[in-house]
Amino acid sequence: MAEHRNGARTAPGARVRAGRRGTAVRVVALALAGAGLVGVTAPTAGALGTGPAGAAAVGEEQPGNGAEAAGRGPHQGGVDAPALNEALEGMVGIGGASSSLARVTEYGRTVWKGAQGVGDFSTGAEPSANGRFRIASVTKTFVATVVLQLVGEGRFGLDDSVESLLPGAVPGGGSITVRQLLNHTSGLFDYTEDPAIGVDHETWLREGRWRSWTPQQLLAVANSHPPYSAPGTGWRYANTNYLLAGMIVERVTGRDWRREVERRIIDRLGLTGTSMPVHATGIRGPHAHTYLDLPGGPVDVTEMEPSEMDAAGVGISTTADLGTFLQALLAGRLLPAPLLAEMLTVAPASGAAQYGLGIGRLTTPCGEVWGNNGSTGRGHNSALYGTLDGSRLVAVSTNGYRNTGQGWKTSQKLLATAFCGRRPAAATPTG
């Protein structure tokens, strides 16, 4: 196998293409947030350490607007660019990713961005720091924001029952509230853990990669299992909760949840690289390819039928768009203060997960940050975190490849490096 300069391997002379339907094998994806075998996995929370140093490298730099161009040098904007480049390189070299992108913003202004690895094994092209990627469970933060906007409009209450909004949707829905869906205390079974969806890698590439699902079919899978616990008595991450949240948005507004996310967030904030696809299998615009490392060589799994993830994780975005979204959210531009406070109220039962309503709290060596992360379980991983005052936000995309067991550790180093750099003493949030 040949070594690229950033440690990713390709078979000599091989052209790696997106596999035909039902042809290759799937392996355990390296997850930025600790992926499960399938579906959209739970975010990892807790305390961040700094981890070992990675190999030094220089992050990608591209011409940008004035705000981006101003933040490229070492320590500019309060960041240590060489240390961030080194941490990003470590995610590829030590962490085993085929490629990784990251961006640090301060009050909506990019102060550093980088890209490492190989964006396309067939051409050797480098990834773009401005590329698009599957955001997995970060989608939940978008969906939760829309649900809370509807609460603010008086369409329903956080403590209204699922039964009152979706009659007959789930057994015992009269005892499950909207709040419990958003903070994962409903006790409902996670449909991605069913054998029909949580299939082994070989079966997924042979039968599941291109399978189309409706929300009703996915919900029927969840309903075929007993709940994990009675509503409100424990915390268990379940994608079924956000499947139902998306259905509630559609029932109340008369429009698909995707259209509401577009209308209320994407269009409002001008997020030109963000989309919530229905059945589109590819990623429009520039993007790094995602690979699985198989005994016979790498298999390109960038393309996939995304309907299995639905409102739990179907989104596509960029690091710039994610930073814009989280900055607007934490600044109170998308939710009134009382509802933002509800969103940031951690469910006591969530324990170390520190999960609120579609968003989680993470402790770094330099204080607490808020955001979300996740994985499709197919090699696409993302993370988005920021300080409450908007002084620093970090967005990351990692395409898992070789499972070195160091993926989350190297991600911890990047996040800690980003948040522990000198932050601005004072700044005016941008609109």
Catalytic residue (one of 137, 317, 350, 375): 137
Strand 316-317 and strand 297-300: the pairing is unpaired
Backbone angles phi, psi at 223, to 5 degrees: -70, -15
The DSSP 8-state label assigned to residue 28 in this structure reads P
Backbone angles phi, psi at 90, to 5 degrees: -65, -30
Helix (H, G, I), strand (E, B) or coil at 78: helix
Strand partners, 279: none
205, 23 contact by CB (below 8 A): yes
How far is Cα 250 from Cα 300, in angstroms, rounded to an integer? 34
Give the residue from 388, 392, 399 showing the smallest Cα distance to 421: 392
296, 354 contact by CB (below 8 A): no
Give the Cβ contact number of residue 244 at 10 Å. Answer: 28
Active site residue 137: yes
Helix (H, G, I), strand (E, B) or coil at 174: helix
Give the residue from 263, 264, 292 showing the smallest Cα distance to 376: 292
To 10 degrees, the CA torsion angle through 249, 251, 252, 255?
70
How far is Cα 189 from Cα 388, in angstroms, rounded to an integer? 32
How far is Cα 44 from Cα 62, in angstroms, rounded to an integer? 31
Burial class (CB in 10 A: 0-12, 13-18, 19+), 254: exposed
How far is Cα 29 from Cα 102, in angstroms, rounded to an integer? 19
How far is Cα 157 from Cα 178, in angstroms, rounded to an integer? 8
Q: Which residues are catalytic?
A: 137
